[in-house]
Amino acid sequence: MYIGVDGGGTKTAFVLMDKECNILATHQGETGSYLAIGIDAVRKNLEQGINTILSSANVGRADVNYAFFGLPCYGEDQTMQQELDLLPSAIIDQSKYACNNDTVCGWAGSLACADGINIVSGTGSISYGQNKGTSARCGGWGELFGDEGSGYWISREGLNVFTKMADGRLEISILHQMLREHLKLTRDLDLPGIVLDKWLGERRKIASISTVVCEAARAGDAHAIDIYNRAGIELAEIVEATRRQAGFDDQETVKLSYSGGIFNSEDMILNPLKNALKSNYELIKPRFSPVIGAALYAAKLDGQTFDEQTLSNLD
């Protein structure tokens, strides 16, 4: 049996899967980000989640062959590396699990652990790919000086356009009206008070404004459409860099999938992404969720392979 854990900025998903790819138990817990709640709280959340799925399936820890933990911010602070690697050791024997960045879960789920690249655009943006055992990641630098093409980035660009409209630097468009309604602004200058004082600059709340920008783009707002077009270009650059790092041949067609809330806008982001890609790709709709990907990757690390018929049990 295999455990998959997909940690995130707002929640952590757990799944227990057997060797026939049958899902035995699932659970959703609190954030897995140590930056948000501290390392001890993350350890407690992981232990609670693992105990919950094992208890639900009436399975003991010794029955688990392998587990994979996708953790937010893993690999982004060398001083925390050892502590993050040891997080699950109170729950599972160290020889029976591995930790890595949560973006690995997105790749493993979307492509069922096949060689290729997965681009993530949610609150932030990042990509991960594998090619014949060589792995590569790109992006994920955070909202302050990175995360291009993400929900936060789209929202920030939308708010920037709003300020220019409020100043008279740009003509008022439907995006201005929709943002005023969404934020319940009595006057335009109330915007900083909402975002910086009331929200305290919380990245998740700011990123949620991207849905308003999407609605404005679908309504034909030229500024909103331009933001989504530029987001597609930014994501394509991340993908292309990942392709080079992973060592894919220039002539081969690379499988490319995607995950994250921005892709719920479908053609609004997929079309600009496809138009901006410079190399050959086979764009694939994600097959499985990131937490299923974590379980599949746990099995892969344990030397387990699945044929198509077995994988179909997850469909």
150-160 residue pLDDT tens: 999 999 999 99
Residue 30 — very low, low, confident or very high, per pLDDT cuts 50/70/90?
confident
Domain 2-112+287-314 has CATH 3.30.420.40: yes
- How far apart CA 209 and CA 152 sit, in angstroms, is 8
Does pLDDT of 23 surpass 80? yes
Does pLDDT of 220 surpass 90? yes
- At residue 17, the pLDDT reads 94
Does pLDDT of 233 surpass 90? yes
Does pLDDT of 94 surpass 90? no
Does pLDDT of 32 surpass 80? no
- Arithmetic mean of pLDDT over the chain: 91
- At residue 115, the pLDDT reads 96
Does pLDDT of 79 surpass 90? no
- At residue 123, the pLDDT reads 83
Q: Where are the domains of the chain?
A: 2-112+287-314, 115-286
Query: How many residues are listed for the chain in this entry?
Result: 315
- At residue 96, the pLDDT reads 93
Average pLDDT over residues 86-95: 86
- At residue 238, the pLDDT reads 97
- At residue 140, the pLDDT reads 86
pLDDT, tens only, 254-276: 999 998 889 999 899 999 999 99
Comparing CA positions, the residue from 170, 166, 173, 3 lying closest to residue 93 is 3
Residue 133 corresponds to which amino acid?
G
The proportion of the chain whose per-residue pLDDT surpasses 90, expressed as a percent, equals 66
Does pLDDT of 221 surpass 90? yes
Of the given ranges (35-49, 63-77, 227-241), which has the lowest mean pLDDT?
A: 35-49
Pick the CATH number of 115-286 from 3.30.420.40, 3.40.50.300, 2.30.38.10, 3.30.930.10: 3.30.420.40
Kindly report the number of other CB atoms within 10 A of residue 297's CB atom: 26
Residue 73 — very low, low, confident or very high, per pLDDT cuts 50/70/90?
confident
5 phi-psi bin (left φ>0, alpha ψ -120 to 50, beta other): beta
Does pLDDT of 87 surpass 90? no
The proportion of the chain whose per-residue pLDDT surpasses 70, expressed as a percent, equals 99
Of the given ranges (112-121, 159-168, 174-183, 303-312), which has the lowest mean pLDDT?
A: 303-312
Does pLDDT of 143 surpass 90? no
Distance between alpha carbon 314 and the CA centroid of its chain, in Å? 21
Three state DSSP letters for the chain: CEEEEEECCCCEEEEEECCCCCEEEEEEECCCCHHHHCHHHHHHHHHHHHHHHHHHHCCCHHHCCEEEEEECCCCCCHHHHHHHHHHHHHCCCHHHEEEEECHHHHHHHHCCCCCEEEEEECCCEEEEEEECCEEEEEECCCCCCCCCCCHHHHHHHHHHHHHHHHHCCCCCCHHHHHHHHHHCCCCHHHHHHHHHHHCCCCHHHHHCCHHHHHHHHHCCCHHHHHHHHHHHHHHHHHHHHHHHHHCCCCCCCEEEEEECHHHHHCHHHHHHHHHHCCCCEEECCCCCCHHHHHHHHHHHHCCCCCCHHHHHHHC
List the structure tokens of 196: 């910086």
Could you check whether 2-112+287-314 and 115-286 share the same CATH topology? yes
Kindly report the number of other CB atoms within 10 A of residue 122's CB atom: 23
- At residue 18, the pLDDT reads 93
Contacts of 130 by beta carbon, 8 Å cutoff, 6+ apart: 107, 115, 116, 136, 246
CA distance between the termini of the chain = 18
